[in-house]
């Protein structure tokens, strides 16, 4: 029996790889399993190579990574293009298309000889039973359902729903193709039973969705009624979701001529009193920089989502990377501070996006949400959202009294001044990028500039004490501390569980608030730490370096970072943790020179 | 324009009512903010004065209008007007104005821009805001030079114009703003000159009354860096100010294009005007049709249905 199964499927774009994965995912979710599915493509628009990874488990799934339990190859050339994204080990069960002409003992995999290999005439079975080789995906679904115990009824329900519009002949053809897959597994059973154990929560009440849709839904929940943006992978689905939904709430989506216009309109709508948002990825973020700076100076609320992909420049548009943190924190001319938040999963992005709107409104500032390609496009089972858990904050508007001699940028104790909008009689002021005095009139006075900078920076002080924007897991006094963020945090969480199961004393800090750096949170965390590790997906280890700018943590805290698209595996992290235990033990035996 | 702007506080607008309870229009004192910092004799003064006149004449209240600009001498405009307004970013007045217009159909949006701001750095926005027919009025004060940065070639500078970036005379062909506006789908295109106040007011008023993207191309001389640029259109300087012929059909796109193409000084007046649905109106329809399916439901109930579809 299995508690946790990782399945990787790869082929060429037309092979139905993704739809095979999706059929399985929907059925598994319906049965009550916890599931995550990621997709990965070559950079071609159509054709090209396509793959998906599914992780199905009886316990909540923390990340999709890890070596494959099951590998399905429709052709080996495409499969191999995914390299480390689809790692095959000797324990991996390999299923492949027989018409590739490869012998089961001569698989083109370097250095591994999987023990269990099935060569299956997938295309021929599809053609025979469904009358078309398009049904390959359904044959694969049948094979996987049979060997790994996904319920026949849930699968059939999914197939009927999926093909209903195409008529009964097509539905029945696909049902036969599915059955052919199942029959194959009965005739060729696995020696060792690898079927998934029964799920702990029967019956599906979970949502099955991805990070982009969840982010957009959160924006609507938070009260966003204006979106401006320009399509860019992997963020486009946010705009598309809102374009299907926002009209119901009296809102608007503007597909602008470029990212500059997108955020320009968002600033205009915010000035006009609306909660507004834009979403983009690296190249678009670069274009938005100038206008985001104005929004900081003019103290206008807005949310800017950056769904990170590999960079610099066009980089790797279809792959995840966490390399835009420096840009999010620092890409502005002048002294400028704006909050940067990062969600860790599809479930998490809902709360993080709502928080982003709340911070934007409360502090009258742009807020950047750093999502990434993996969170954005992976499908995940999510518990139904309990919206009553979330508070919605609105910007501080002037009272009638405050509209007499209205002072837009009044220097208050909190640094937050009431903000009006067109239509408020007496509330008129000039919103501008030129430095202003309290009334909003232009100034070139050094003294006024210094006071306004102080106001714009100090207003964020309370934010650095928001400990609820951080989670700490594990023994708080542990001598080994990990820090990880974004989609990689799930890998660290899994490594933490594995380490704890071995009796290692480890703890993990996951920030949702990346910037401003909450100095005391890190200081407190590192107080007990003798060895530490920042786990993240960027060449430079950007969070590690950002935190070091503000916090003096011991030199024995190191980064463990990889460039995007090179998955970080929980087992690799576990190896590092074991090494740290040994290092601590040996340093206790003989005091070592301070590392630097 | 070396002076910095003063730090005079805004006097709050107060709603004043007449004895009959009807609200009085604003007086010039209530509309004017800082004294403009333009060079004496700058054409932009006249445009500002006529904007005030328009506000007075049409009883536009502060809370019903916004005044938006980019960056440039001409774009300092909103600083001198007491209204909700924005002095935004070089070239980006139109995106900001679009955000205001689309999210607040109750407001009339006026955007003021310069030739560099509107046609060079903001050229793409000019094209797309026009083609989308987003409701607003754009007045471009064209001095055929970069004023604020002190005399560089602009996209409307004529061939041979000697600037600090073209010391031998400009070699790039200028664009013709009115032609461009017609070709990209602006639904109202007019040409005027700051030296003819009545005409400027008439054009701004017609533009404001147009339901759609209305563009007023206003020649406005930079006395500092391009003195005499528009003398040929100024009868007081020996030029001619020819209005658009009475026989011109403003809905005839090709006729308008031809008229706009005439050599300088050409004709002044409304060159083109057609009625077609605005983006604002179409979106209001989309809103209404979506919302009619959910009458009586609270936002969270509508959102719940969306979540249910994710199951
Ligand atoms: C991104 C950016 N680039 C350059 C500038 C400098 N700049 C300010 S105004 C201007 C040109 C203004 O020319 P125009 O729009 O014709 O206005 P005018 O001053 O002539 O009224 C330039 C180049 C700027 N403010 N921002
Ligand atoms: S446009 Fe020319 S005349 Fe007008 S303020 Fe600028 S520099 Fe002076
Ligand atoms: Mg100019």
What confidence tens digit (pLDDT) does each residue in A74-95 have?
Answer: 999 999 999 889 999 999 999 9
Which one is the CATH code of A468-589: 3.40.50.920, 3.40.50.10700, 3.40.50.1820, 3.40.50.720?
3.40.50.920
Give pLDDT tens digits for A558-586: 999 999 989 899 999 999 999 999 999 99
> Which residue of chain B has the CA closest to A207?
B311
Strands across the sheet containing A379-382: A116-120, A93-97, A70-73, A4-12, A49-57, A34-41, A379-382, A207-210
Q: Do A428 and B85 lie within an 8 Å CB cutoff?
A: yes
Looking at the domain that runs over A4-187, which CATH code has it been given?
Answer: 3.40.920.10
Q: Is the pLDDT of residue B47 over 80?
A: yes
Q: Is the pLDDT of residue B10 over 60?
A: no
Q: Which domain holds residue B122?
A: 28-276
* Count of positions (residues) in chain B: 311
CA distances from A457 to A224, A341, A416 (A): 26, 17, 11
Q: Is the pLDDT of residue A23 over 60?
A: yes
Asked if residue B167 and residue B94 are part of one domain, the reply reads yes
Task: Give the closest of A264, A272, A437 to B95, CB-based.
Answer: A264
Whether B128 contacts B95, CB under 8 Å: no
Averaged pLDDT of chain A: 95
Asked if residue B295 and residue B269 are part of one domain, the reply reads no
Is residue B51 included in any domain, yes or no?
Answer: yes
pLDDT of residue A13: 83
pLDDT of residue B16: 55
Chain A residues with CB-CB distance to B307 below 8 A: 207, 217, 384-385
Examine domains A4-187 and A208-389 and report if their fold is the same.
no
Chain A residues with CB-CB distance to B89 below 8 A: 264, 290-291, 294, 433
Asked if residue B80 and residue B200 are part of one domain, the reply reads yes
Asked if residue B291 and residue B196 are part of one domain, the reply reads no
How many domains is chain B partitioned into structurally?
Answer: 2
pLDDT of residue B17: 55
Q: Is the pLDDT of residue B14 over 60?
A: no
Asked if residue B222 and residue B303 are part of one domain, the reply reads no
Domain borders along chain A are 4-187, 208-389, 468-589
Q: Is the pLDDT of residue A128 over 90?
A: yes
Q: Is the pLDDT of residue A204 over 90?
A: no
Q: Which residue has the tokens 């029959």?
A: A183
For residue B65, count other CB atoms closer than 10 A to its CB: 24
Give pLDDT tens digits for B113-169: 999 999 999 999 999 999 999 999 999 999 999 999 999 999 999 999 999 999 999
Is residue B9 included in any domain, yes or no?
Answer: no
Asked if residue B295 and residue B178 are part of one domain, the reply reads no
Q: How far is B4 from chain A (nearest CA, A)?
A: 7
Asked if residue B297 and residue B149 are part of one domain, the reply reads no
Asked if residue B281 and residue B137 are part of one domain, the reply reads no
Whether A405 contacts B12, CB under 8 Å: yes
Confirm or reject CATH 3.40.109.10 for domain A208-389, answering yes or no. Answer: no
Cα–Cα dist A265/B205, whole Å: 25
Cα–Cα dist B28/B18, whole Å: 17
pLDDT of residue A592: 53
Q: Tell me, in angstroms, the distance from the centre of ligand 3 to residue B141's CA.
A: 7
In sequence order, which residues have a C-beta less than 8 Å from that of residue B148 and are 6 or more positions away?
B1, B71, B72, B73, B114
Least confident of A57-66, A174-183, A362-371: A57-66
Q: Do A269 and B99 lie within an 8 Å CB cutoff?
A: yes
Q: Is the pLDDT of residue A179 over 50?
A: yes
Cα–Cα dist A385/A366, whole Å: 26
Cα–Cα dist A392/A362, whole Å: 10
Q: Is the pLDDT of residue B203 over 80?
A: yes
Is residue B159 included in any domain, yes or no?
Answer: yes
Give pLDDT tens digits for B162-193: 999 999 999 999 999 999 999 999 999 999 99
Q: Confidence class of residue A594 from pLDDT cuts 50, 70 and 90?
A: low
Whether A102 contacts A121, CB under 8 Å: no
Q: What is the ipTM of this complex?
A: 0.93
Residue % of chain A over a pLDDT of 70? 98
3-class DSSP state of B36: coil
CA A197 from centroid of its chain's CA atoms: 28
Pocket test for ligand 2, best of B142, B225, B226, B228 (most atoms within 8 A of CB): B225
Task: Give the closest of B96, B300, B307 to A268, CB-based.
Answer: B96
* B32: DSSP letter: B
Name every protein residue with a CB atom under 6 angstroms from any ligand 1 atom.
B 71-74, 90, 114-117, 143, 145-149, 154
Average pLDDT over residues A28-49: 86
Is residue B20 included in any domain, yes or no?
Answer: no
CATH value at residue B33: 3.40.50.970
Least confident of A14-18, A127-131, A372-376, B280-284: A14-18
Chain A residues with CB-CB distance to B122 below 8 A: none
Pocket test for ligand 2, best of B5, B37, B38, B145 (most atoms within 8 A of CB): B38
Average pLDDT over residues A357-380: 97
pLDDT of residue A492: 98
pLDDT of residue B2: 33
Q: Is the pLDDT of residue A17 over 50?
A: yes
Whether B140 contacts B134, CB under 8 Å: no
Q: Do B7 and A441 lie within an 8 Å CB cutoff?
A: yes
Question: Which ligand minimizes its atom distance to the CA of B72?
Answer: 1
Average pLDDT over residues A517-525: 97
pLDDT of residue A110: 87
Least confident of A108-117, A448-457, B42-51, B275-284: A108-117
Chain B residues with CB-CB distance to A290 below 8 A: 89
Q: Tell me, in angstroms, the distance from the centre of ligand 3 to residue B155's CA.
A: 9
């Amino acid at each position: 029996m299995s508690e946790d199964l990782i399945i990787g499927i790869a082929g060429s774009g037309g092979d139905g790889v993704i739809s095979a994965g999706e059929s399985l995912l929907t059925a598994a979710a319906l049965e009550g399993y916890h599931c995550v599915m990621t997709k990965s493509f070559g950079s071609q628009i159509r054709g090209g190579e396509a793959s998906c990874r599914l992780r199905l488990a009886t316990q909540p799934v923390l990340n999709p990574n890890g070596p494959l339990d099951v590998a399905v190859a429709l052709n080996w050339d495409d499969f191999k293009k995914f390299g480390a994204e689809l790692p095959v080990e000797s324990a991996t069960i390999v299923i492949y298309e027989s018409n590739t002409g490869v012998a089961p003992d001569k698989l083109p995999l370097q250095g591994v000889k999987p023990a269990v290999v099935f060569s299956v005439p997938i295309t021929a079975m599809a053609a025979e039973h469904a009358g078309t080789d398009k049904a390959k995906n359904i044959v694969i679904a049948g094979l996987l359902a049979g060997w790994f115990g996904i319920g026949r009824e849930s699968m059939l329900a999914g197939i009927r729903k999926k093909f209903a519009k195409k008529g009964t002949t097509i539905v029945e053809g696909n049902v036969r193709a599915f059955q052919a897959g199942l029959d194959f597994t009965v005739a060729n059973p696995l020696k060792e039973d690898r079927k998934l154990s029964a799920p702990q929560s029967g019956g599906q009440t979970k949502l099955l969705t991805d990070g982009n849709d969840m982010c957009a839904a959160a924006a609507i929940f938070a009260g966003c009624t204006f979106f401006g943006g320009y399509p860019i992978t992997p963020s486009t689905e946010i705009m598309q979701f809102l374009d299907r939904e926002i009209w119901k709430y009296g809102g608007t989506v503007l597909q602008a001529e470029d990212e500059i216009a997108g955020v320009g309109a968002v600033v205009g709508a915010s000035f006009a009193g609306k909660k507004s948002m834009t979403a983009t990825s690296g190249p678009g973020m670069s274009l938005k920089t100038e206008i985001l700076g104005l929004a900081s100076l003019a103290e206008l609320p807005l949310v800017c989502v950056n769904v990170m992909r590999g960079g610099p420049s066009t980089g790797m548009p279809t792959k995840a990377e966490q390399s835009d943190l420096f840009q999010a924190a620092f890409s502005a001319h002048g002294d400028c501070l704006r909050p940067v938040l990062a969600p860790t999963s599809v479930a998490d992005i809902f709360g993080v996006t709502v928080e982003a709107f709340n911070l934007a409104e409360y502090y009258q500032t742009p807020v950047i949400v750093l999502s990434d390609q993996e969170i954005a496009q992976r499908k995940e089972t999510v518990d139904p959202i309990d919206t009553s858990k979330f508070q919605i904050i609105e910007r501080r508007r002037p009272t009638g009294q405050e509209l007499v001699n209205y002072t837009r940028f009044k220097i208050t104790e909190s640094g937050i001044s009431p903000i009006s909008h067109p239509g408020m009689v007496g509330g008129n002021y000039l919103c501008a990028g030129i430095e202003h005095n309290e009334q909003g009139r232009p100034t070139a006075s050094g003294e006024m500039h210094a006071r306004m900078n102080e106001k714009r920076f100090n207003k964020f002080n309370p934010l650095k004490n928001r400990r609820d924007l951080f989670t700490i897991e594990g023994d708080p006094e542990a001598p080994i501390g990990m820090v990880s963020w974004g989609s990689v945090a799930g890998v660290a969480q899994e490594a933490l569980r594995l380490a704890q199961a071995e009796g290692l004393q480890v703890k993990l800090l996951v920030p949702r608030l990346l910037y401003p750096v909450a100095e005391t949170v890190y200081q407190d965390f590192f107080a007990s730490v003798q060895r530490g590790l920042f786990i993240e997906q960027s060449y430079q280890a950007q969070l590690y370096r950002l935190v070091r700018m503000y916090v003096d943590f011991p030199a024995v805290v190191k980064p463990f970072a990889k460039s995007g698209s090179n998955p970080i595996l929980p087992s690799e992290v576990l190896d590092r943790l074991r090494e740290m235990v040994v290092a601590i033990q040996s340093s206790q035996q003989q005091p070592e020179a301070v590392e630097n | 324009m070396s002076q910095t702007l003063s730090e005079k506080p805004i006097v709050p607008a107060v709603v004043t009512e007449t004895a009959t309870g009807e609200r009085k229009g604003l007086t010039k004192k209530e509309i004017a903010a800082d004294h403009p910092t333009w060079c004496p004799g700058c054409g932009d003064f006249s445009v500002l004065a006529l904007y005030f006149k328009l506000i007075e004449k049409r009883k536009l209240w502060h809370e019903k209008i916004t005044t938006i600009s980019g960056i440039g001498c001409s774009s300092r405009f909103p600083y001198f007007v007491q209204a909700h307004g924005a002095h935004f970013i070089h070239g980006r007045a139109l995106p900001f104005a679009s955000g205001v217009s689309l999210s607040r159909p109750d407001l009339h949006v006026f955007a003021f821009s310069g030739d560099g701001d509107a046609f060079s750095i903001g050229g793409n926005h000019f094209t797309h805001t026009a083609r989308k027919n987003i409701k607003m009025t754009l007045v471009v004060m064209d001095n055929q030079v970069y004023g604020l940065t002190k005399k560089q070639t602009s996209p409307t500078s004529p061939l041979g114009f000697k600037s600090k970036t073209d010391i031998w005379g400009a070699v790039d062909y200028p664009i013709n703003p009115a032609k461009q506006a017609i070709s990209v789908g602006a639904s109202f295109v007019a040409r005027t000159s700051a030296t003819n106040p009545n005409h400027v007011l008439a054009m701004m008023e017609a533009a404001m009354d147009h339901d759609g993207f209305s563009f007023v191309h206003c020649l406005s001389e930079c006395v500092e860096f391009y003195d005499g640029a528009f003398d040929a259109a100024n009868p007081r300087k020996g030029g001619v100010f020819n209005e658009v012929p009475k026989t011109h059909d403003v809905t005839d796109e090709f006729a308008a294009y031809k008229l706009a193409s005439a050599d300088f000084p050409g004709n002044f007046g409304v060159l083109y005007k057609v009625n077609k649905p605005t983006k604002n109106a179409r979106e209001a329809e989309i809103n209404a049709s979506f919302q009619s399916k959910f009458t009586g439901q609270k936002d969270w109930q509508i959102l719940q249905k969306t979540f249910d579809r994710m199951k």
